[in-house]
Chains A and B, each alone.
Chain A
Amino acid sequence: MRTKTLTALLAALACAVLPATAAATTEKATLRASFSPDRLGASTTISFGFHVSTLEGTAPPPLTHVDLHMPAGMNYTRTQLGLSICQPEPLLQDGIAGCSPNSRLGFGKAFVEVPFGTGAGHEIPELQALMGPSPNGNLVVLFYASGLFPVTAQLTFLGEVLPDHGRFGSQLVTTVPPVASVPGGPGVSIVDVESPIGPSHLTYYKHVHGRKVPFTPQGVLVPTSCPRGGFPFTAEFGFQDGGSTTASTAVPCPPKRRR
């Protein structure tokens, strides 16, 4: 009874605020990226994150897609990331335990804003990146977000790694599904995401002479040379209201090693 009352109250609040969020806003975004380690030619963990807001100071409209362009020269040739494929169905049913540890690519966190929120955002503590099934032959990153409050939801969404051109060697094209704040209510806004992809904190397993042996998978390699201005990253963000914005950053060139 108490839960029903709370849900109804939230829905009413959401509806009351909906016109304000539906009003035209000007979205802006900042992008973060880093390599760990940041060493030319080294196996690395790519950390990328973004923060979305509006010039008006309101919660941004729900994200619909993020296209992250990554620098040319990133070397995927020998990466062991994603030696197994995680299917969305067991992931939704059993959580991260539903997939092989060898399908994990990284994990991070996200902050979401409900339309009737304070603006500070609420943490979705579990954001997993896994190797997903690949219907088109491209690398697929399967994101899994699991939250309890303010949104009780487990959801998956896919990012596809496609070739790129010019300063960029590949792009991660991610479609973000709508996430309702309350049943029938407006969608939540993703305001901040931090999502490392790489071997840092990952343990894979292989069978050697019948024994299960843990190992750290090889990551993507940092390019062997650094362009002037650092390794460029750019992201394009699309929003449910039809708006879009772009943000760029660069990972600084690593200091030259002394011989």
Chain B
Amino acid sequence: MKVQSFDLGSRATRLRSVLCVGAGVLLSSVAFAGAAAPSAGAAKAHAARTLSLNESGRLHLTSHHGFTLNEQGSASGTISGTIYLHLTISSTNHVTAEVNIYPSGGSLTGSASADYRVEGSLASFNGTMNIIRGSGRYSRARGSGLSFSGTVQRSTDAVNVRVSGRFSY
């Protein structure tokens, strides 16, 4: 489900409408725009769009190094694109991970920490993820406490991962 907040964005839209008023009110418009300019800049800087992410990824092992499995696959859900996961088994019951998703027009990077358990042919992890940076249209992406969970098929090291929660960008 995609939830977007355009409070400040619609304010900017209103400002643009004001700026498009005829020359008769140019002076006042310019004066208004001048007064509003810092505010418009602020609106851009704090464009608090919020997205409720509900993402699933199916990944396969591309390489491994030490305690880290490097995985690649495709993400689907709120956004879709290529997903990369670097899953590090930090102890017998804990993992950390870096998640990179490359949707159209940008990227998102998350840092996750989760409990880890082995249950026969599957290992599972369940924890939280923070969105720590982004690029392109998600260059201001930030979020914390997103749900991060998934499974590792132990015979193949294929991973299914799920990420859900809200973040701003």
Residues of A within 8 A of B (CB): 75-80, 82-85, 102-103, 131, 134, 137-139, 161-163, 169-170, 206, 224
Contacts and interface: CB of A to CB of B under 8 A. Distances in A.
B117 A138 contact: yes
Interface string B85-109: 0000101111000000000000000
Q: Is the interface of A mostly helix, strand, loop or mixed?
A: loop
| Chain B, interface residues (CB within 8 Å), range | 20 to 34
B17 interface: no
B157 A170 contact: no
Given A76-B92, A170-B92, 20 more contacts: A75-B89, A77-B64, A77-B89, A78-B64, A79-B154, A80-B154, A82-B118, A83-B155, A84-B120, A85-B120, A102-B121, A138-B93, A138-B117, A162-B92, A163-B93, A163-B94, A169-B91, A170-B91, A206-B155, A224-B66
Contact of A75 (B66, B115, B121): B66
Given A134-B117, A137-B115, A163 B155 contact: no
B66 A139 contact: no
A83 B120 contact: yes
Interface of B: 64, 66-69, 89, 91-94, 115-121, 154-155, 157
Contacts, number: 55
Nearest to A206: B155
Nearest to B91: A163
A88 to B, nearest CB: 15
B117 A77 contact: no
Nearest to A79: B154
Nearest to B64: A78
10 contacts: A77-B67, A78-B157, A79-B154, A83-B120, A131-B120, A134-B117, A137-B93, A138-B117, A163-B93, A169-B92
